[in-house]
C-alpha cells in the first residue's frame, strides 16, 4: 500500500501552507488529514462511496458525497488553491470533463495515475498479456480502470485541453525517477498543472 501513496509526500510539498484544497476521490481522507496536519490546509474531500464518506467523516474530514462523473457543479469557479485527483483519473469515464472542472474550480490541479508506459507494463504487453502490477492490480476483465494512458499521452491531453503542466514526476517502488525517461521508468505519474 505504501508505494501507492508515494505521491503523497510530493503532493504535500506542492501545497502552500494554509491553502485551500479540494481532494477528489478522497477515500478515507488520509491525504487531506495529512495536509491538514502538515500544511494547515482547509478544504473538503469528495467521494461517492458510502463507506469512504463515513470513514472520512470519522477521520475529521469535511466530506461531500458526490459523483465526480457528474462534474463539480456544487463548487464555484476558482474557489480552491489546489484540486487533487489522486489514483482516480484512470477509473473515470468523463476524463476530459473532470480535468476541465479541476482547472475551473482550482487555481492548480494535481493528478496521479498509473503510467501505462512503464517498462514492466510494456514488457507484459510485448509478451502478449495485459499488464498487472502493483499500481494496476486488476485483471483486464475485472478492472475499474477504463482510461489508462502513458505520460506521453497525458502530456498531449493536457496540451489539447489548454492546460499547462507546471511539474511532472514519476515514481517506482516509492522512489522518484530522477534520471532517464520517466515515461519508461516510472510506474506512477504525478502531474501539477493549471489552465493556460
Nearest distance from C-beta of residue 39 to another protein, angstroms: 17
Return the beta strands (E) in 91-162 as ranges.
106-114
Task: Evaluate whether 140 touches 131 at the Cβ level (below 8 Å).
Answer: no
Taking the least distance from each CB to another protein, the nearer of 69 and 123 is 69
Strands 106-114 and 188-195: antiparallel
The residue from 79, 94, 145, 164 that contacts another protein (CB under 8 A) is 79
Measured from the CB atom, the residue of 74 and 159 that comes closer to another protein is 74
Minimum gap (Å) between residue 79 Cβ and another protein = 7
Beta bridge partners of 170: 189
Of 12, 49, 161, which is closest to residue 95 (Cα–Cα)? Answer: 161
Contact between 159 and another protein by CB under 8 A: the answer reads: no
Residue 18 in the binding site for another protein (CB under 8 A):
no
> For another protein, which is the closer residue by CB, 60 or 162?
60
Question: Does 65 sit near another protein (CB under 8 A)?
Answer: yes
Q: Which residue lies nearer to another protein by CB, 84 or 187?
A: 84
- Assess 64 for contact with another protein (CB under 8 A): yes
State yes or no: residue 20 binds another protein (CB under 8 A): yes
| 107 touches another protein by CB under 8 A | no
- Cβ-based neighbour number of residue 144 at 10 Å: 9
Task: Give the residue from 69, 87, 81 showing the smallest Cα distance to 27.
Answer: 87
Nearer to another protein, 47 or 135 (CB): 47
In whole angstroms, give the CA distance from residue 145 to residue 90.
5
Residue 192 CA to residue 184 CA, distance in Å, equals: 19
Instruction: Count interface residues toward another protein (CB under 8 A).
Output: 19
| Rounded Cα–Cα distance for residues 130 and 123 (Å) | 10
Q: Rule CB under 8 A: which residues touch another protein?
A: 20, 42, 44, 50, 53-54, 57-58, 60-66, 74-76, 79
Amino acid at each position: 500500500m505504501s508505494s501507492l501513496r508515494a505521491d503523497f509526500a510530493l503532493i504535500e510539498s506542492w501545497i502552500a501552507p494554509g491553502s485551500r484544497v479540494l481532494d477528489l476521490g478522497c477515500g478515507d481522507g488520509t491525504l487531506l488529514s495529512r495536509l491538514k496536519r502538515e500544511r494547515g490546509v482547509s478544504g473538503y474531500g469528495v467521494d461517492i462511496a458510502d463507506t469512504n464518506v463515513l470513514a472520512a467523516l470519522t477521520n475529521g474530514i469535511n466530506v461531500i458525497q458526490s459523483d465526480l462523473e457528474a462534474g463539480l457543479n456544487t463548487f464555484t469557479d476558482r474557489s480552491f488553491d489546489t484540486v487533487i485527483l489522486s489514483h482516480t483519473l484512470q477509473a473515470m469515464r468523463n476524463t476530459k470533463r473532470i480535468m476541465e472542472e479541476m482547472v475551473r474550480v482550482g487555481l492548480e490541479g494535481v493528478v496521479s495515475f498509473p503510467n501505462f508506459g512503464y517498462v514492466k507494463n510494456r514488457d507484459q504487453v510485448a509478451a502478449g498479456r495485459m499488464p498487472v502490477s502493483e499500481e494496476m492490480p486488476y485483471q483486464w476483465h475485472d478492472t475499474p480502470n477504463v482510461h489508462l494512458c502513458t505520460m506521453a499521452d497525458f502530456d498531449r491531453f493536457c496540451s489539447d485541453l489548454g492546460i499547462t503542466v507546471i511539474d511532472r514526476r514519476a515514481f517506482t517502488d516509492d522512489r522518484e525517477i530522477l534520471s532517464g525517461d520517466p515515461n519508461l521508468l516510472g510506474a506512477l505519474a504525478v502531474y501539477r498543472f493549471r489552465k493556460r
